[in-house]
Amino acid sequence: MKSFDLYELIPGLPGELGLECMTRLPYTAHRVTSVVCRRWRQLFESIDFYYHRMKSGHTHEVACLVQAFNGVNFPAGEKSRNSPTCVITVFDAVNRTWDRLDPVPKYPNGLPLFCQLASCEGKLVVMGGWDPASYDPVTDVFVYDFTTRRWRKGKDMPSKRSFFAIGALTGRVYVAGGHDENKNALRTAWVYDLRSEEWTELGELSQERDECEGVAIGEEFWVVSGYGTDRQGLFEGSGEVYDTGSGQWRRVEGIWEEGRCPRSSVGGTIGKDGRLVCWANLDPAVRAMACGVMLGGRVLVTGSEYQGAPQAMYMMAEEEEEEEKKNRKLERVHVPNEFAGFVQSGCSVEI
């Protein structure tokens, strides 16, 4: 925190002690505290303060979920289609609290369908998807700040793409694959810098990858499975890994079960069989439409026993010894009725 003047941050207290008090405030108090004075607002919005809180162990992980919600009232003359209205639900697994974010700008009646989420330096990023009224692909980018509890418009994606891989590392959001407006699978990739609001094109993937899934592991961005334009629905067992240090892609084989859709189902660890963890394989209770969000050493998993069955939410340890896996039990999470809609995707945000 050398970049911030701590003198009388809290009147009557030494600067370091004042900083310690601010650091220990729960994230739920940041919005109210930041309006006390300009210096406090600047502190809470400082990226240095965010990393200071993270280093001292005072950040807090929550799950942000793209969830179906059918209680929206549409403006006069605008009719709802059969597709569900999607909103963002926030689940705090430590305090077992639920919340719902305000609608993103431009889409007051629900998120773009099939939009993608990523978290970056304590902020939630929403990208792409389909316009909920016209079903046309969009390039919109929105960023939610949990300190101010407000959305802002980011810089649009360079081109329209749907069902792409997404992941975030060190202040940047990576996207790759998916398909264009004409349903042609893509092999292009881009990175978005939230601080500079700039997009930079990366090298291409080794092949087209529609409906691929993205996951960040260490300092690498993994693009998992997908299929080419001429192989519709034939999901690959291979993937691509982007090393943020070297700026190079490498192809990896056998990391996913061939024929299985990876969307929202890929965990951030590699099992003893050399494949990435698949949330749907954790337990029969979540083998259909599984979605997992890693929260520190635990995982929030949603899913159902079979297609069409009611979806439920569970918590479980992320990593277990082999002996413990034999007796693994999912801990069912009580979900209030207003937050019981189908979960399409999600990500964790360290606030």
* C-alpha distances out from residue 97 to 64, 93, 185, 244, 334, Å: 12, 7, 40, 35, 10
Burial of 333 (0-12, 13-18, 19+ CB in 10 A): middle
Tell me the mean pLDDT in the region 112-138: 96
* Reported confidence tier of residue 170, pLDDT bands at 50, 70, 90: confident
Strongest mean pLDDT among 36-50, 75-89, 318-332 = 36-50
- Can you give the pLDDT at residue 17? 93
- Residue from 256, 301, 266, 262 nearest 283 by CA: 301
Q: How confident is the model at residue 330 (pLDDT cuts 50, 70, 90)?
A: confident
Average pLDDT of the chain to the nearest whole number:
90
Alpha helix (H) ranges present in the chain?
Answer: 15-23, 30-34, 38-44, 47-55, 322-325
300-328 residue pLDDT tens: 999 999 998 999 999 987 654 444 444 56
pLDDT, residue 296, reads 82
pLDDT 10s digits, 197-220:
999 999 999 999 999 999 999 999
What phi, psi does 4 have (nearest 5°)? -120, 135
Q: What is the DSSP letter of 9?
A: S
| CA proximity to 223, closest of 274, 330, 211 | 211
Please compute the mean of the pLDDT values over residues 269-275 and round it to a whole number.
85
The partner residues of 193 in beta bridges, in order of sequence, read 172, 198
Residues pairing with 345 in the sheet: 66
Contact between 251 and 240 (Cβ < 8 Å) = yes
CA gap 132, 267 in Å, rounded: 29
Residue 76's pLDDT is what?
35
> Which tokens hold the place of 35?
């309006």
Using CA atoms, how far residue 42 sits from 22, 45, 58, 114, in Å, is: 12, 5, 18, 35
What's the confidence (pLDDT) of residue 313? 95
Of 71-75, 111-115, 290-294, the poorest mean pLDDT is in: 71-75
pTM of the model as a whole? 0.91
